[in-house]
Amino acid sequence: MPEGDSIYRAARTLQRALAGRTVTRFESVFPHLTRIDQDQPLRGRVVERVESRGKHLLLWLSGGLVLRTHMRMHGSWHLYRPGERWQRPRHEMRIAIATDAFEAIAFSVPVAEFLKATDVDRQRDLHDLGPDPLSDAFDNAEAVRRIAGRGDMEIADALLDQRAIAGIGNIWKSETLFACGVNPFTRVASLEPDTIAALVAAAARLLRASVNEETGRVPLSVYRRAGEPCRRCRRAISMRKQGENVRSTYWCDGCQPPRP
């Protein structure tokens, strides 16, 4: 599943290509989107801005209409010049938004809806989101408070809870815990407040480094390195499925030992 940094980069790319341009064509396989287009045509509207919120991508259009998409596991947005050959087959196309200069194509996106601009902050998934480390308004203390309130959860699962802190997935969950030397199966209730604060700070630092255009993605220490030697202690990296959603967790037993 694309994580917050991937969605942020996609939104940034779409923003640069589409913002200020007029929609010349809209197409979708989703009937609930085409009905809106029939009643309130997108053609002629101006793309005002594109932004990310956690793992959600929001495309704001003139006239108070907002397209919200969520990629889930396999969705992605692509950008093409008019007439350019698509890199994925047409049957995977879910949404197409064209301007005079670019076509934005959403492939295999399972979640999409139009919202009134006035209703965006009341949409359930967006309203319930925890603080987003990639937002200028990121509230570090609130993220710490929300994670600390999930005392019965294992810390790796708490970091994945989008209502606690937005945008973290398997990659940055595992990398954040490694960076702070915290075992992923530790219960939140057993962690000191300073440790939770350090985890939040590390997650924010890693996500921001990943979207930094000068430095690019940061090298991964544990994610998808099961069986390979830890770069710190040379012990083999471990992997185990974790939580109700059976998500992959990577860690180093030497650097992240279980708490006694």
pLDDT, the chain, mean: 96
Q: Which of 121, 37, 106, 25 is nearest to 72 (CA)?
A: 106
Each residue of 244-254: pLDDT tens digit? 888 999 999 99
Which residues are registered as beta bridge partners of 26?
97
**Do residues 123 and 68 touch, judged by C-beta distance below 8 A?**
yes
The amino acid sitting at 28 is S
**Tell me: the pLDDT tens digits for 170-199?**
999 999 999 999 999 999 999 999 999 999
Q: What would the two tokens of residue 14 be?
A: 């779409």
Residue type (1 letter), 45: R
Q: Are 196 and 144 in contact (CB under 8 A)?
A: yes
Specify whether 214 is catalytic.
no
CB 33 within 8 A of CB 71: no
Categorize the per-residue pLDDT at 259 as very low, low, confident or very high, splitting at 50, 70 and 90. confident
Query: What confidence tier does 216 reach under pLDDT thresholds 50, 70, 90?
Result: low
Lowest-confidence segment of 72-76, 106-110, 126-130, 150-154 by average pLDDT: 72-76
For the chain, the structural domain boundaries read 4-127, 140-252
- What is each CA distance from 222 to 168, 195, 200, in whole angstroms? 15, 20, 18
Mean pLDDT of 84-98: 97
Is residue 2 part of the annotated active site? The answer reads: yes
**Active-site choice (48, 51, 55, 131):** 55
pLDDT tens string 2-11: 899 999 999 9
The single-letter DSSP state of residue 122 is G
So what's the pLDDT on residue 222? 98
- Residue 1 is predicted with a pLDDT of 66
pLDDT > 70 fraction of the chain, expressed in percent and rounded:
98
pLDDT of residue 149: 97
Q: Architecture of 4-127 per CATH?
A: Alpha-Beta Barrel (3.20)
**pLDDT of 83 above 70:** yes
pTM, full prediction: 0.94
Q: Write down the catalytic residue from 3, 48, 154, 175.
A: 3
Mean pLDDT of 86-95: 97
Q: What fold does the segment set 140-252 form as a domain?
A: Helicase, Ruva Protein; domain 3 (1.10.8)
